[in-house]
Amino acid sequence: MKFCSQCGAPVIRKVPPGDNLPRFVCEACQAIHYQNPKIVAGCIPEWNGSILLCRRAIEPRSGLWTFPAGFMEIGESAEQAALRETLEEAHADVEIASLYAVFSLPHISQVYMVFRGLMRSPDFKAGAESLEVQLFAPETIPWGLLAFPVIQETLARYVRDLEQGCFMLHVGSVMPPMR
């Protein structure tokens, strides 16, 4: 950030009075500009024991598989964002069953909120951000072709819960793979 969104003056990075972290501060109007993590809302659409995955048509990780997910928009709830992303990426109509996972990705300042979604019908097709959309039985998930570590972690837990017949809420952090 270089300029204040309130008055247009240059900003500096400093710890404001009463705070303990450096922030972008406008010395002209005293506005403090906070930068916070982005929330990604996603959905694991389910149909008869299979889950719907999308092969990404956009970067990053174009050509790899994910469940429908994307950044929340201003004015929508996490549930609404998950439903919207599922409709946009997979043209699938789902009903939210429950919150399934909340994963922090501190290395990229994101928080994933993933919901289980019950598909109302087996109708789906690729949206503009998807090359293809396909239902996968748990044993056919393309593990080596998943787009992101958080997708891998979420689906691994989902498959374990499915095998145990009990879905629980998962909370944790997902770190980048070691190089």
In angstroms, the CA 34 to CA 173 distance is 22
Contact between 102 and 170 (Cβ < 8 Å): yes
pLDDT at 151: 98
Going residue by residue through the chain (179 aa), what tens digit of pLDDT does each one get? 999 999 999 999 999 999 999 999 999 999 999 999 999 999 999 999 999 999 999 999 999 999 999 999 999 999 999 999 999 999 999 999 999 999 999 999 999 999 999 999 999 999 999 999 999 999 999 999 999 999 999 999 999 999 999 999 999 999 987 77
pLDDT at 178: 75
pTM of the entire predicted model: 0.92
In angstroms, the CA 22 to CA 44 distance is 37
The structural domains of the chain, with segments of one domain joined by +, span 1-35, 38-173
Structure tokens at 11: 């900003």
- Can 1-35 and 38-173 be said to share one CATH topology? no
Would you state the CATH architecture of domain 38-173?
Answer: Alpha-Beta Complex (3.90)
In angstroms, the CA 11 to CA 5 distance is 10
pLDDT at 51: 98
Rounded to 5°, angle at Cα 152 from 149 and 157:
130
In angstroms, the CA 27 to CA 98 distance is 46
Structure tokens at 122: 């087996």
User: How many Cβ atoms from other residues are within 10 Å of residue 75's Cβ?
Assistant: 6
Contact between 94 and 45 (Cβ < 8 Å): yes
Q: Which CATH number fits domain 1-35: 3.30.450.20, 1.20.1530.20, 3.30.460.10, 2.20.70.10?
A: 2.20.70.10
